[in-house]
A and B are shown apart, each in its own frame.
Chain A
Amino acid sequence: MSKYLVNLKINNMPIAVEEGTTILEAAKKLNFRIPTLCNHPDLTVAGNCRVCVVEVKGARLLAAACATPVSEGMEVLTNSEKVRIARKHIVELLLAEHNADCTKCFKNGHCELQDLSGEYRIGDHVFLDLVKPSSKIQDISSPSIVKDDSKCIRCQRCVRTCTELQGVSALGVVNKGDHQRISTFLNKPLHEVVCTNCGQCINRCPTGALTERNYIEEVWNALYNPSKFVVVQTAPATRIALGEDLGIQVGERVTGKMVAALKKLGFNKVLDTDFTADLTIMEEGTELLTRLKKALVDKDEKVVLPMMTSCSPGWIKFQEHMYPELLDNLSTCKSPQQMFGAVAKTYYADKINIKAQDMIVVSIMPCVAKKFECERPEMRDSGYQDVDYVLTTRELAMMIKQAGIDFDKLEDEHYDSILGESTGAAVIFGATGGVMEAALRTAYEIVTGREVPFTNLNIKPVRGMEGIKEASIKIKSVKPEWSFLEGVELNVAIAHGLANARKLMEKVRSGEASYHFIEIMGCPGGCLGGGGQPIPTSPEIRKKRAEAIYSEDLEMVIRKSHENPEVAEIYREFLGEPLGHKSHDLLHTHYKVRKRY
């Protein structure tokens, strides 16, 4: 059914838009920007900050542009005297409640309230300061997220993120009136509640109320310390987003510049998490085939299917809280970050003749849950904490700025070797469906000896931004040793964003779906939309980042994990074989049941 067109005027300019369009959207079409704070393209409409109020001729009240649908004959003014006075008042009121100590704020220069305050030239505060001293005590209990209530403007973007996108609801609105605030169950510290550390709330917080726990100083200290050998690994999704924080357009790949910048910052070796992404595929692919064999041939009832990916630490903690009965479905593979740390402080340290205790492993991640992950007690298989510090893409951008590097002018450089070689399959780990695609490229070939039957190796059915994707591949003409898979229809599913993961888990738990393999990424869009990525985020931005990832894949010489020569080398020299003894010790892990409530 086609929608009606509604005619209206905005600032005396006529426009016709589809029924149901909001005033905010209609104004945007006419290139009138109406300021917003509580509104976010990923979230439902709240209409609570009131910054977007506009005048509708003939109406007693101003209308919240974000929450008001257009109507026939409506005449809207977005900058009338009434609107300006009200908007300025509202910004002043927000500032009265806000700890506006901007120069000391981690979000200084990246704050929507600061921008708005600057835009309206809010001078001396008219109103009384209402910041409660108690609100200035930050919650630093989480290794990933810092919550500072004194900066909070109650827009509830974080609450909607945690509920609508992530289905977690660790954050909620509590109390009413002057005591209303954003908090957790019984106001417990973040570390004690069901927070998955995904950091999506950070990506949508307009102020400095929610930020990542930053480790910039710690990393500088390590770099300045002559007795430390500091290696850095970069996650797949960092290279397609870092530029956004350094004046480069969304969707532009900056892999070579990022490597160059890291070298300039003083890292002793610049290596790639993509290498261990390939390694993950070898381990996880083998694990999947092994599970299938045990289930289909040995009829082993202890073997649990579907197998689920384990790269996303937000997803892992979600599962530990919400579906502890499905923990055996998780692949035992560590995430690529943690595989890297374990290999770096053993195999690699040996090879370059550095003592593990002198090595510092830093990760650049699109993720804040990785900060929690590296501190998990299970992640010390090298005998030391395998990964020492995790920086977000944003923190790296800050370091690059601090170092005075003109990022845009950098010449591309290459990752160091070894642990720097990677494939297109590893790069696409950064997008939802990417791990699945990489695994299929390898597993299918192992089983049949032929490439996956998709043009250019592009397995289109597992790509895209649909919340839950399903696909099946019929396995035909297998090699003799895989005869049990002959004719098997391999069913896979992919979800990104934990609210979608929850939907999929309900299907699995109820037995409604019979999948063999499931990929889950905790964040919308996968790692490219991770909680550590440049702010802002939106469906449009994530789409561009995904395009960048897939074009990087296309340009890679090698596009299948099992063809990575350094991966072959590490198996030959060190690990032996996938799922072998050494692998088991270094590359695999276990999970723990956490409280759901």
Chain B
Amino acid sequence: MENNLKKVDIIFEIDEKQSPLAILEKTVKRPADEIILDLIDSGLKGRGGAGFPTGLKWKFTRNEDSEVKYVICNADEGEPGTFKDREIIDRVPEKIFAGMAICGFVIGAKEGYIYLRGEYNFLLKNLQKKLDEFNAGMKKTGIDFTIYIKSGSGAYVCGEESALFESMEGKRGEPRNKPPYPTVAGYNSKPTVINNVETLVYTTMICHMGPERFKALGTKDSRGSKVFSVSGDTPISGIYELELGMPLNEFVDGFGDGDTKAVQVGGASGHCVPRKKFNDTIIGFEGIPTGGSMMIFNSSRSMYNVLHDYLEFFTEESCGQCTPCRVGCQQLLKGIEAVKRGERPPAYLDDLKKLTATMKIAAKCGLGQSVGNPFNSIIDNFREEIIY
């Protein structure tokens, strides 16, 4: 990779001298409030996509008065174009466990769960083995925390935190009304911290190396680094840990095939950025945030097909409970088909855009709220491809 992109090695770094269990042991000797301050100081925001400050999430949950609390690792990575958590789970699971146990120590939880998507069942055997060792290690060192694994069964929406709790409770994975938020009432209606796989690894590493090294990376609004899943029309698809806040043009220079027409940042629910906007787009919370999915399209690709694919995905994966999402997704999908076939005038696309504005503010959860992102960014930038 020849460019200015700063590759980072925090997530997958293996420190021979200090195992994740050792990091955990060292960390739980510190006052919990100090750990929270470090996390807040580091500027770490959730790496699943929504970007809530991790330190605050832990703090809120710590402040809840409850005998029982839970730590949950969201390993239900299902956003099209995202595959980094699978790699993290496969390569450095102990760092995830350590992050969960640190969180348990901080908030006062004794149980942690990893909700692993069903599509990753093939990871289960190895993960369980490593987990058994880690649990035993914690027991030996007197850390009162146990981690369990729960499997999903193929439902994208279960990545939404409250839907994930429902699923863990043996129900349909339908998102709940908020408030209450998980920090108050999550799994089993108890205060719960739910963090993405990658976030938990960063918490371990921030506890290990101190907030400074992390803080030094990235920008004011987007501290640190992030693991990106790069796919599509690129000669070097794969997983890369990069500093946040990079301009998209540099990313395209580094990863594109020389003919990049657009990049879908943040997966199917993210934004599609056309070539002409590469220069002014920052990858980070100040620009376009992403859970890590970067899908590159070259000029041979039909953006109608791309959008159609996304909409089909959302139509199928909507939980179906709320009107804007259940019916809205179908309308968008059938709507672009109708325009393509000439059964509706091109101006119908504008009616649909207005509908996405309603979906964005009236749908019950992030799924329905974000369908407008790909829809509008593709319609706005590739209108002709949709119509003709």
Measured CB to CB, the residues of A under 8 A from B are: 45-51, 53, 60-62, 64, 67-69, 82, 85-86, 89-90, 93-94, 96-97, 126-128, 130, 153-154, 156, 173, 175-180
Contacts and interface: CB of A to CB of B under 8 A. Distances in A.
**Can you list the 3 inter-chain pairs with the closest CB atoms, starting with the nearest?**
A180-B320, A93-B327, A67-B177
A468 B361 CA distance: 43
Interface of B: 155, 157, 172, 177, 179, 315-324, 326-331, 334-335, 338, 351, 354-355, 357-358, 361-364, 369
A534 B227 CA distance: 60
B330 A178 contact: yes
Nearest to B335: A128
A261 to B, nearest CB: 41
A340 to B, nearest CB: 45
B354 A176 contact: no
Q: How would you classify the secondary structure of chain A's contact residues: helix, strand, loop or mixed?
A: loop
Contacts of B331: 93, 96, 127-128, 130
B323 A130 contact: no
B330 A50 contact: no
Contacts of A64: 177, 364
A97 B177 contact: no
B175 to A, nearest CB: 10
B268 to A, nearest CB: 14
17 contacts: A47-B322, A69-B179, A86-B324, A93-B324, A93-B355, A153-B323, A154-B321, A154-B323, A154-B326, A176-B172, A176-B320, A177-B317, A177-B319, A177-B329, A178-B315, A178-B318, A180-B326
Given A89-B358, A127-B331, A177 B315 contact: yes
A62 B330 contact: no
A85 B355 CA distance: 9
A156 B321 contact: yes
B189 to A, nearest CB: 14
B274 to A, nearest CB: 26
B328 A61 contact: no
Contacts of B357: 85
A50 to B, nearest CB: 5
A421 to B, nearest CB: 53
A60 B369 CA distance: 11
A173 B358 CA distance: 25
A107 B179 CA distance: 36
A177 B318 contact: yes
Contact of B364 (A50, A173, A177): A50
Given A48-B364, A96-B331, A173-B321, 11 more contacts: A47-B364, A49-B323, A86-B362, A90-B358, A93-B324, A153-B323, A154-B321, A154-B323, A156-B321, A177-B329, A180-B318
A130 B320 contact: no
A457 to B, nearest CB: 47
Contacts of A173: 172, 320-321
Contacts of A53: 361-362
B324 A90 contact: yes
Nearest to B317: A177
Task: Name the residue among A69, A86, A153 with the largest chain B CB count within 10 angstroms.
Answer: A86
Contacts of B354: 85, 89
B327 A97 contact: yes
B363 A50 contact: yes
B172 A62 contact: no
B178 to A, nearest CB: 9
Contact of A60 (B318, B334, B351, B361): B361
A242 to B, nearest CB: 35
Contact of B323 (A62, A93, A178): A93
A52 to B, nearest CB: 10
